[in-house]
Amino acid sequence: MAEQKIDMFKLVEEVEKQKKVDLDEIFNDLDLVKNDKTEETVKRTEPKARKAEDVNLVSKPIIPNNIGPYDTRFEAFKGIIEHVSYGTDNINSYVEGHKNALEKYYSDAYKNSKDLYVIEARVNDEINKSGAHSGLYEKGYYDGLVYVMKALKRSKELLMAKIDSKIKAAL
């Protein structure tokens, strides 16, 4: 077999020439992309189309600070849940989800009015298990769960403050 002699210097020069050409082409392509938007980049920057449901979107209801004196924790929880204001008469899926969460745990609290710690545990578990909120109903339901948890905590704080004031008055 006859061996072919390869000139390594010429081979290295050819590789370097190809690299320079490829790098120049890459930079030219990048400049074109920067200066001229293609259809793909335009599609990525367009905002999503709004759904008809999004138009009637309401803000999250908040727990009122000034709620009357209550004798039991369940009465305080009941008062907070019953006075939810959505700020609009338009019913959309967000409000429906929020109301469903409130109604579900209100009825559970009514059944377990002596021990609201059971309800706290159930709400906490459901909040932790909830996944992505793809629609307005799911977002409303999740926000309703959070509202119920805040209402439970607020009812506990109200009764603790009442007990505290009675203890201070007795001393």
> What does the pLDDT look like over 115-160, one tens digit per residue?
888 889 999 999 998 877 778 888 889 999 999 999 999 988 888 8
The candidate with the shortest Cα–Cα distance to 136, out of 72, 39, 50, 44, is: 50
Per-residue CA distances from 61 to 44, 86, 126, 127 (Å): 34, 6, 20, 18
pLDDT tens across 7-58, in order? 666 666 766 666 555 556 656 665 665 565 544 444 444 444 445 455 455 5
DSSP helix/strand/coil, 31 = helix
Q: Which helix (H) or strand (E) element contains residue 154?
A: helix 136-170
Contact 52, 94 (CB under 8 A): no
> Which positions ≥6 away from 108 have C-beta within 8 Å?
118, 119, 122
**Exposed, middle or buried: residue 32 (CB in 10 Å: 0-12, 13-18, 19+)?**
exposed
